[in-house]
Amino acid sequence: MLKKYYKKLKREKFPASCVSKAELEDKFCDTVININWYSILYNRISFISLATQKFKNCKYLEVGSDNNHCFNSIPVIDKTGIDPKQGGNVRTTSDEFFSKNKKIFDVIFVDGLHTFDQCRKDIINSINFLNINGYLFIHDLLPRNFLEEFTPPMGTPWCGDVWKVAQELCKTKGIEFNLIIADHGIGLVKKIEKNVNYFDDYTKLKNLKFKDFLEINNKIKYIDPEEAIKIINN
């Protein structure tokens, strides 16, 4: 599905300092995914807003609110936004928040620290505090090149290696999982059963690189924005 976007670039097209840094860890890759996010005008806010409208008095949680771009755009009264630095309305880390939380949410957006380790913790916690038929969205699941995937960040935009959670989510039972091709890749999870056992593939995935992502992303169901709207409206 993503292969049609693959394109090889000459080494000189990438910043030389980033190439050398990546080569030290064998992470340089000259294939990129040639998608221009600005040409797809739907974004995370479109899909999250649509999902919230399915619930009466929707309870919304955002993990990582930053400058409130998304948080302040979601048309819901009952909102919780957590961020240790800025934005939202709870100044704390996600781990700290979930360790004390008792509230169950209808829609959750995970967009905190963009590492595989932290993101999968945020997802496991989110699924536990999500109502059945509730929606979980995850940002930045589609890095387009080694620069966007490299951890720690080399610049912006930065997806990090959160793409690895999609590899676990597509094998997790009790949820429906799709990945929307818009806005750096948005995971769309619907919780369909009370008990969800997150598929643990950590050991296999933790050391994978962007070039591995190019090889194994065909396991994921990528959908376009129109299909996502149909799924959420259903």
Ligand X SMILES: C[S@@+](CC[C@H](N)C(=O)[O-])C[C@H]1O[C@@H](n2cnc3c(N)ncnc32)[C@H](O)[C@@H]1O
Structure tokens of 92?
Answer: 């704390």
DSSP 3-state of 229: helix
- Which of 113, 170, 216, 231 is the binder for ligand X (CB under 6 A)? 113
The interface with ligand X within residues 114-143 (CB under 6 A) comprises: 118
By beta-carbon proximity to ligand X, the closer residue of 85 and 230 is 85
Strands (E), the chain: 6-8, 31-33, 59-63, 78-82, 105-110, 130-139, 175-180, 186-191, 222-223
User: Rounded CA gap, 103 and 98, in Å?
Assistant: 9
Min dist CB 133 to ligand X, Å, is 23
Min dist CB 140 to ligand X, Å, is 7
Residue at token pair 């299909």: 227
Among 87, 109, 82, CA closest to 97: 82
83 part of the interface to ligand X, by CB under 6 A: yes
By beta-carbon proximity to ligand X, the closer residue of 28 and 97 is 97
- Which of 70, 189, 214, 220 is the binder for ligand X (CB under 6 A)? 70
Among 3, 52, 62, CA closest to 32: 3
- Which of 111, 148, 149, 161 is the binder for ligand X (CB under 6 A)? 111
- Which of 55, 64, 144, 225 is the binder for ligand X (CB under 6 A)? 64
User: Rounded CA gap, 84 and 80, in Å?
Assistant: 13
Count residues near ligand X (CB under 6 A). Answer: 18
Instruction: Give the nearest residue (CB) to ligand X.
Output: 64
Min dist CB 63 to ligand X, Å, is 5
Q: Which residues make up the interface to ligand X (CB under 6 A)?
A: 44, 62-66, 69-70, 82-85, 93-94, 111-113, 118
